[in-house]
């Protein structure tokens, strides 16, 4: 029997129904293998344990035959495989629990494996966006927030731009077809920001309507 941990969502990836006039342009999630490599550094971990294994073999080979010294490096290789397996499992769980959504008015990010939360980023909060595109077509689209808007780096990790801790930049990490997603975002944000806004203001001689 299948079970959906997020079956309480009225719309996949969103905590509530969309308001009138808002619609979804795109939804996606990180690629687990790319997330493990780029966000969790699985290649660096594998290289570290491989280096330890070669070092141990080199040290042991000075005191015994090479065939016997090789066995001294095996425990490090086993530990490396286990560590990389754990990182891949974390990446898979993170990717499975994540839903990125672009609408015509905002970026929504349902993130978090143990503690799930949804970040809502209206386009009017985003001052700039940067795309880190890989040859495979995968990439990371990061958003630079303006004004007093703040996002916690620790709470949002790994769905943030690396090494931007003081001014955290939420990011759509390791998404496929990233160039097309960036184009959709740019078009939607430009359209949204250029929309005129009408607000009612109060003046001494009565109410007036001003358009921005």
Taking only the tens place, the pLDDT of each residue in 145-188 is 988 878 889 889 999 999 888 889 999 999 999 999 999 999 99
- Evaluate if residue 2 carries a pLDDT over 70: no
Rounded alpha-carbon distances, angstroms, from residue 4 to 1, 15, 18, 210: 10, 15, 21, 48
Q: Is 193 helix (H, G, I), strand (E, B) or coil?
A: helix
CA gap 159, 180 in Å, rounded: 19
Residue range of the domain that includes 45: 36-93
Quote the pLDDT of residue 67.
Answer: 77
The answer to whether position 103 is within a domain reads no
Q: Is the pLDDT of residue 48 over 70?
A: yes
Residue 88 forms part of a structural domain:
yes
- C-alpha 73/C-alpha 60 separation (Å) is 9
Helix (H/G/I), strand (E/B), else coil: 55: helix
Within-domain flag for 49: yes
How many domains is the chain partitioned into structurally?
A: 1
Query: Is the bond preceding residue 21 a cis peptide, omega within 30 degrees?
Result: no
Q: What is the mean pLDDT of the chain?
A: 86
Q: What's the farthest any 2 CA atoms get from each other in the chain?
A: 99
Would residue 64 count as lying in a domain? yes
Angle at the Cα of 57 (from 54 to 59), degrees rounded to 5?
110
Looking at residue 16, its pLDDT comes to: 86
Running DSSP on this structure, what letter comes out for residue 196? -
Any domain includes 144: no
**Is 71 domain-assigned?**
yes
Tell whether the model's pLDDT for residue 72 goes beyond 60. Answer: yes
The CB density around residue 9, as the number of other CB atoms within 10 Å, is 15
Q: How far apart are CA 72 and CA 63, in angstroms?
A: 12
* pLDDT value at 54 more than 70: yes
Contact predicate 111/159, CB 8 Å:
yes
Over pLDDT 70: what percentage of the chain? Answer: 88
Mean pLDDT (whole number) for 181-209: 72
Q: Given this model, what pLDDT does residue 198 score? A: 60
DSSP H or E run through 178: helix 178-194
> Any idea which residue has 């594998």 for tokens?
46
The predicted structure's pLDDT at residue 201: 62
Q: Is residue 58 part of a domain?
A: yes
User: E-assigned strands of 59-187?
Assistant: 99-103, 106-111, 117-122, 126-133, 139-145, 171-175
Domain membership of residue 60 (yes or no) is yes
pLDDT at 3: 43
What pTM value is reported for the model? 0.82
């Amino acid at each position: 029997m299948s079970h959906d941990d997020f079956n309480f969502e009225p719309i996949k990836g969103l905590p509530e129904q969309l308001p009138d006039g808002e619609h979804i342009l795109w939804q996606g999630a990180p690629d687990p293998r790319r997330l493990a490599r780029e966000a969790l550094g699985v290649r660096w971990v594998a290289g570290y344990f491989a280096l330890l294994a070669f070092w141990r073999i080199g040290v042991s080979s000075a005191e015994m035959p090479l065939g016997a010294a090789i066995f001294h490096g095996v425990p490090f290789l086993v530990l490396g495989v286990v560590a990389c397996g754990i990182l891949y499992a974390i990446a898979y769980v993170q990717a499975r629990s994540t839903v990125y959504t672009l609408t015509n008015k905002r970026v929504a990010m349902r993130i978090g494996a143990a503690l799930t939360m949804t970040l809502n980023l209206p386009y009017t909060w985003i001052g700039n966006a940067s795309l880190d595109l890989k040859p495979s077509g995968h990439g990371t689209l990061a958003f630079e927030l303006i004004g007093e808007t703040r996002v916690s780096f620790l709470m949002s990790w790994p769905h943030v731009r690396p090494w931007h801790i003081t001014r955290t930049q939420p990011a759509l990490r390791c998404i496929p077809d990233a160039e097309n997603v960036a184009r959709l975002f740019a078009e939607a944000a430009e359209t949204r920001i250029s929309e005129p806004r009408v607000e009612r203001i109060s003046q001494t001689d009565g109410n007036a309507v001003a358009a921005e």
